[in-house]
Structure formats: structure tokens, C-alpha cells
């Protein structure tokens, strides 16, 4: 405990009741959580198997578990739960299958899989023109689930035709999931919470199982997550939650920062410990962050401070347009790296929307400045790749109901949701997978002959591909599969433009080439024996490897959105496009939701350790026309004495700074020539 400050020690040692640790940015909250777990095990004698620590990302959970194991022996931590909310929910569901109405081996559908089911329910084979409506209904259903609202409640409380349509779709969608022995991502929280409400005996069992609960990033919890924690922690309130309402930036996905304040209502004896000492940034950066965020309303007041010195001024660079802005950033990056003997990885450029990085990427490429864009779409997350991967998964594993549901009507085979619901009910009675029962004679009793024939055609076709795949030429079978189901026609019909359609098909053929290379490598390694099943298993894991690659420490400038930057820190930070209608975003201005945008500004500022630069363009192109922009209102909220203005409209420094940037670019070009 000697290397913890007094407030951190207080948070670790307090276990007499409910505790809220109000942890400012960079205040060492992970150390508090991990040391508290170790202290509970080693000093208070709480068995590790009776402790659960919950956070929001797998990466954070891994880091937390590794740090606990460094403080306590592996034997002492055996049985400790350190997981995301959704993994905890999954653990509960798997332990209580019968109570939840699930069977062993249930599928978990991701957002794309769920959308396909909703398309069938809402569009009933009609044109894809209403795809935007499907997105809206999917978001509405997710919101209902995040607030523990069940289908019957949604229907009874619908206040408009659109809401009633969404509620009816919710009801049909849930019936389809249960019939197919599947859940979606939101169900991993809703179903355990709903089960606990309905079955106190099971709740009591889990309260005994989890005798002390710790929750990280509590400001990001939604209504269902809050209720799950509340029920598990009653009646004694043996929990510690760690959060910061100033860093709540995920309202668009259901986060409710007011959950921090609700704790005081539900737990009148709640103790609050504030962590205000920052171990990341200079005093001037923290002063700027405190000054900006003070404009938001607060239930809990706090003010960050640091022992790291006051630091240099915050630079505000205004350029004529977005080309000038990105030119200046690229030149300044290069100049500062050479001048300070720094690494490229010491720099991060943060922005409100992904589109802002495109021009900057071209500038960096032209100057051969290495960079990494974080948070981009994974190759395996693209819908066309998911489609083909599900076909391949079903080829090698006919029991994969999740894959079956995604591709049975992709491309369309006139197999509607009613047919699939009856098929799922029949499969459940027979205790077999959906694919296996597609030709059962008994199906004629529960569905029309035409639907039965469509299912049979699909199964016979894929069976033939499977036999060819494993008996002759795997690669030829994969190529024939794509051609015979006319997948390219399907892609082109549903693409927003021919160019997009062509790009999606290029991705499909890229996957086929990857399969070819992997099969050829097997031939080299295994004396001619090929195994498509092994290749597909490796491909399924590739997405995980891509995510790990994003966490490498190679020497590259980091480019990412402000949302993606949360939890990270960098020596030198550029915040790009700090203008009205970008930050704060136009939608937030129209919806009068400036408080969350201000929190986003606060998150961006507190990513910087040593220097912070904000840039803006005086004009930007919009729909082919140049429009004048206004500096963000948040710049006016910064302490003006701590700012150093550069560029357009600031005569004193414009010439000097512009010349420095141009000289840096010229020097770099000379090196590259």
C-alpha cells in the first residue's frame, strides 16, 4: 500500500458498505481495483471464487486479471471472476439454461446476424429499400432491452404506429431467437436480470456465489446493467464501483451517467472517495480540462491536479482550409520529431469523425510518415465476408445453427420467418440442428409443401458441395459455391453503387485467395493432405489476430476518433477540427446535447501527457462547396492565458509558424528524394 496515495488507500481498505470511487482521468483507478481484489483475498480472507470484477472490454479485463495475478499467487486467485458485463451474463445463462428457456449449445448472434432476422420479419422478401427502417427498429429493440423492457411491455406502451410496428417486430424477433435456441448481445444482460427478478431462489444462489462485486467504468452502464449490479449487491451492498461522470461519452449506445447519482438513492449509506491526483498530464493540461468540464452540471464535484509541472502552453492552430490544416499537422509532426528526438508513436491525432482522417492519411503517406488508424472495420466484420464464412462454417460443421440462420436466405430463397420458426420448433423437438432436419418427412405436418421443398433444395445443394469439398477439390468447391448461388448478382443488386458492389466482391475473392494460400501451405507441411476444416478454424481466429495487431507498439503516429481514444494516453496530442458542428457535432447542437460533447472534449484533452495542440480550418468543403466555419465554443471555455494561437487570423505568429512547417516538409522531401 506504500505506493498508493491516501485517497487510493482509503478506497482499497473500505469494505464496510457500498463504495463509489470517483476516479478522474489518469488517477490510477485500475491500481485501486486490482489492489483491492488482492487485499480482499489476502487480508480479509474472502475466497477468490466469491469475488467478481466487471468492466466493459476484454482488453481491460485481461489487464486487470494479469495485474491481480502479479499481486497474488495463482493459487490464491483460482476461481476469481474478472470479465466484461456480457461475459458475466453469459456465464450466468450457461449455468441456468432451463430457467432461461435455453438449451445447451445456444448461439449468440452479433448485430449483423440479428439484422438479417429482422429484415425477414419486417420486409417479408420485399425490396431492400427499407433497410434504413430495419436499422431504426434494430436500434429501438436494443434500447428496450438495455432498459429491461420486454416485448409485451413495448407493445402495450407503444405511442405511435411506428413504435407499435417496432414493438411487434421485437415480439416476433424474440420468438425467433428462442425457437432457434439463440440470443443476441443485449440478451446477455437482459435475460439474467429478468430471470433474477422472476426467480428469487436463483438470485439468492448468485448472491452467495458473488459475495463482493467490483465494477469499472460505472458511468458507462445502461439501465439493465445497473439493475443487474443492484440485484446482485442487495441487501448488504458489498461492492465498489469506479467511475467518472466527466468521461461518460457513450449515451448513443445506452450509457447513463446518471447511474452514478442513482447509487445515492438506492444506497443512502454510500461512501464516496474522490481520486483527483492525476499521474499522466502537466498542470496546464489539467487546468484546461478542469475549466472546460466545469461548464457541465455535476452531482459530484472534483478537480484534477498533478505533480508533473505546469508545462507549456496549449497551441490553437487555425489554417485556411482542411488541406492547410492537414499540411500543417504533418509538417509540425515531422519538425517536432526531428527537433525533439522523439518517436512517431509519441504522437496521436484525434478527431470527432472517421472521415476527418482521409486527407491527413494522404498527407502522411506522401511524406512517408508511418501511421496507424485505430478502430477501423475488421476484414472479417464486413457483411460479405461474414456471409461467405458462414457458408464455409456450415460446410464443415452442419450443427452450426448460427451460420445456418445467417445464410439460409442470403441470397433470398423465399424462406420466410414463419418457415424458420416452424423449422426451429421441429428441430428443438428432435433435439437436432436446424440443417439436419431440413428434409425430415414430419415437417410436412407443420409447414407448406413449397417451404419444405425450398429447405430440401438448399440442403441437397450444400450436401453436394460438402461431398465435393472433402472428396475432391476444396478450392474448386468454394468457387462453385459462390458462382452457383449467384452471390455476385446479390451483392450488386443490394450495393449502394456499382463501385461499392465491385469492392465488396473484391473482398470475397481476397478471402478465397487466402484460403488457397492456406491450403497450399498445408500441402507443403503435410505431404499433400489438406483440411478445409482446419483452414476455416484458422480464418475464424484471424479477426482476433487483427485486433491484437492494432495493439502493437510499432513506431507509428496514432490516428483515432475521440471516442476510441478513451482509456489511452500519448505524450503529444493533436485534436483536429475543433470547430462548431464538428466538436460539438451538429447533431448534438440540434438535439441540445452539448454536455456529452463537452465530456468528449474533456476526454480528448486528458489524453495528452506533455503537449496539446488543437487545430481548425477556417473553411471546409461540404457537398462540393466551401463554407466558412466557426471555432468551437469549447475553445472559448479554455483558460485564455494558457493558449498560444497560430496561423490564420493571428498575424503575430502566422508567418513564423507557417515557415517552420514548410521548412519541415521541405526537409523531409529532400530526405526522400
Name the active-site residue from 9, 10, 15, 30: 30
34 is catalytic: no
30 is catalytic: yes
- Cβ neighbours, 10 Å, residue 447: 18
Name the active-site residue from 372, 406, 465, 607: 607
Q: How far is CA 131 from CA 316, 404, 435, 489, 501, in A?
A: 42, 22, 27, 18, 16
DSSP 649: T
From the number of C-beta atoms within 10 Å of its C-beta (0-12, 13-18, 19+), residue 58 rates as middle
Which residues have a Cβ under 8 Å from the Cβ of 622 and sit 6 or more positions away? none
Helix H or strand E encompassing 621? strand 619-622
607 is catalytic: yes
Name the active-site residue from 29, 372, 406, 422: 29
Q: How far apart are CA 608 and CA 595, in angstroms?
A: 21
Q: How far is CA 133 from CA 168, 187, 228, 234, 412, in A?
A: 14, 22, 31, 41, 19
Name the active-site residue from 120, 194, 217, 421: 217
287 is catalytic: no
247 is catalytic: yes
Q: How far apart are CA 561 and CA 579, in angstroms?
A: 15
Helix H or strand E encompassing 408? none
Q: How far apart are CA 238 and CA 18, in angstroms?
A: 6
Residue of 647, 655, 615, 651 lying closest to 631 (CA atoms): 615
Name the active-site residue from 247, 410, 530, 613: 247
Q: How far is CA 469 from CA 176, 303, 428, 487, 520, in A?
A: 31, 64, 29, 19, 15
Contacts 24+ apart (CB under 8 A), 199-202: 199/99, 202/96, 202/99
Q: Cis link prior to 249 (omega < 30° from 0)?
A: no
From the number of C-beta atoms within 10 Å of its C-beta (0-12, 13-18, 19+), residue 439 rates as middle
Helix H or strand E encompassing 465? helix 449-471
Place of cell 529532400: 670
Task: Give the helix ranges, DSSP H, for 472-497.
Answer: 474-484, 487-494
Q: Angle formed by the axes of helices 6-13 and 29-42, to 10°?
A: 40
Residue of 284, 336, 315, 334 lying closest to 650 (CA atoms): 315
Q: How far apart are CA 336 and CA 612, in angstroms?
A: 13
DSSP 75: T
Place of cell 478465397: 512
CB–CB of 643/313 below 8 Å? yes
β-strands 81-84, 619-622 pairing? unpaired
493 is catalytic: no
Residue of 10, 12, 405, 11 lying closest to 176 (CA atoms): 405
Structure-block grid coordinates of residue 84: 466484461
Name the active-site residue from 187, 216, 421, 581: 216
Residue of 608, 200, 252, 540 lying closest to 390 (CA atoms): 540
The DSSP-derived string for 518-570 is HHHHHHHHTTT---HHHHHHHHHHHHHHHHHHTT---S-EEEEEHHHHTT--E
Active-site positions read 29-30, 216-217, 247, 607
Amino acid at each position: 500500500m506504500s505506493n498508493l496515495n491516501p485517497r487510493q488507500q482509503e478506497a482499497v481498505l473500505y469494505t464496510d458498505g457500498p463504495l463509489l470511487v470517483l476516479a478522474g482521468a489518469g488517477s490510477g483507478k485500475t491500481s485501486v481495483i486490482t489492489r483491492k481484489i488482492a487485499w480482499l483475498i489476502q487480508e480479509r480472507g474472502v475466497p477468490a471464487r466469491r469475488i467478481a470484477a466487471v468492466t466493459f472490454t476484454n482488453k481491460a479485463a485481461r489487464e486487470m486479471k494479469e495485474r491481480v495475478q502479479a499481486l497474488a499467487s495463482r493459487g490464491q486467485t483460482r476461481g476469481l471472476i474478472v470479465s466484461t458485463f456480457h461475459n458475466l451474463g453469459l456465464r450466468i445463462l450457461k449455468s441456468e439454461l432451463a430457467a432461461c428457456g435455453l438449451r445447451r449449445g445456444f448461439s449468440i448472434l452479433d448485430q449483423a446476424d440479428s439484422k438479417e432476422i429482422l429484415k425477414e420479419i419486417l420486409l417479408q422478401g420485399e425490396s431492400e429499400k427499407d433497410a434504413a427502417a430495419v436499422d431504426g427498429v434494430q436500434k429501438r429493440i436494443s434500447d428496450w432491452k438495455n432498459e429491461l423492457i420486454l416485448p409485451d411491455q413495448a407493445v402495450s406502451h407503444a405511442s405511435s404506429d411506428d413504435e407499435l410496428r417496432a414493438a411487434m417486430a421485437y415480439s416476433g424477433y424474440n420468438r425467433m431467437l428462442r425457437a432457434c435456441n439463440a440470443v443476441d448481445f443485449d440478451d446477455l444482460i437482459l435475460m439474467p436480470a429478468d430471470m433474477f427478478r422472476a426467480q428469487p431462489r436463483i438470485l439468492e444462489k448468485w448472491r452467495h456465489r458473488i459475495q463482493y462485486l467490483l465494477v469499472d467504468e460505472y458511468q458507462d452502464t445502461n439501465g439493465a446493467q445497473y439493475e443487474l449490479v443492484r440485484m446482485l449487491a442487495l441487501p448488504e451492498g458489498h461492492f465498489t464501483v469506479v467511475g467518472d461522470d466527466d468521461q461518460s461519452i457513450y449515451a448513443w449506445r445506452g450509457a447513463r451517467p446518471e447511474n452514478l447519482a442513482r447509487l445515492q438513492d438506492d444506497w443512502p449509506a454510500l461512501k464516496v472517495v474522490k481520486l483527483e491526483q492525476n499521474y499522466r498530464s502537466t498542470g496546464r493540461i489539467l487546468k484546461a480540462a478542469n475549466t472546460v468540464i466545469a461548464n457541465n452540471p455535476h452531482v459530484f464535484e472534483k478537480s484534477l491536479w498533478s505533480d508533473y509541472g505546469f508545462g507549456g502552453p496549449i497551441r490553437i492552430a487555425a489554417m485556411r482550409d482542411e488541406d492547410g490544416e492537414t499540411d500543417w499537422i504533418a509538417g509540425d509532426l515531422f519538425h517536432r520529431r526531428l527537433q525533439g528526438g522523439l518517436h512517431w508513436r509519441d504522437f496521436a491525432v484525434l478527431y470527432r469523425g472517421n472521415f476527418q482522417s482521409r486527407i491527413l492519411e494522404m498527407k502522411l503517406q506522401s511524406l512517408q510518415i508511418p501511421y496507424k488508424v485505430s478502430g477501423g472495420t475488421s476484414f472479417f466484420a464486413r457483411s460479405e465476408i461474414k456471409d461467405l464464412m458462414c457458408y464455409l462454417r456450415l460446410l464443415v460443421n452442419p450443427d452450426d445453427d448460427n451460420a445456418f440462420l445467417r445464410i439460409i436466405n442470403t441470397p433470398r430463397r423465399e424462406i420466410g420467418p414463419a418457415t424458420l420458426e416452424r423449422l426451429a420448433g421441429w428441430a428443438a423437438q428432435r433435439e437436432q440442428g436446424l440443417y439436419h432436419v431440413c428434409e425430415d418427412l414430419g415437417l410436412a405436418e407443420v409447414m407448406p409443401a413449397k417451404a419444405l421443398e425450398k429447405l430440401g433444395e438448399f440442403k441437397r445443394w450444400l450436401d453436394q458441395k460438402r461431398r465435393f469439398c472433402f472428396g475432391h477439390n476444396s478450392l474448386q468447391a468454394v468457387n462453385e459455391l459462390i458462382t452457383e448461388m449467384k452471390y455476385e448478382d446479390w451483392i450488386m443488386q443490394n450495393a449502394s453503387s456499382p463501385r461499392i458492389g465491385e469492392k465488396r466482391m473484391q473482398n470475397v475473392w481476397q478471402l478465397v485467395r487466402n484460403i488457397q494460400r492456406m491450403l497450399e501451405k498445408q500441402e507443403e507441411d503435410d505431404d499433400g493432405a489438406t483440411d478445409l476444416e482446419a483452414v476455416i478454424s484458422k480464418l475464424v481466429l484471424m479477426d482476433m489476430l487483427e485486433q491484437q495487431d492494432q495493439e502493437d507498439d510499432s513506431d507509428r503516429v496514432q490516428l483515432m476518433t475521440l471516442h476510441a481514444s478513451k482509456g489511452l494516453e500519448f505524450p503529444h496530442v493533436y485534436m483536429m477540427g475543433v470547430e462548431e458542428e464538428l466538436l460539438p457535432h451538429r447533431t448534438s447542437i440540434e438535439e441540445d446535447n452539448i454536455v456529452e460533447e463537452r465530456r468528449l472534449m474533456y476526454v480528448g484533452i486528458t489524453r495528452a501527457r506533455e503537449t496539446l495542440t488543437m487545430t481548425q480550418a477556417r473553411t471546409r468543403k461540404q457537398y462540393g462547396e466551401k463554407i466558412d466555419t466557426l471555432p468551437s465554443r469549447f475553445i472559448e471555455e479554455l483558460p485564455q492565458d494558457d493558449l498560444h494561437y497560430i496561423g490564420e487570423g493571428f498575424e503575430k505568429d502566422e508567418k513564423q509558424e507557417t515557415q517552420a512547417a514548410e521548412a519541415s516538409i521541405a526537409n523531409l522531401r529532400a530526405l526522400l528524394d
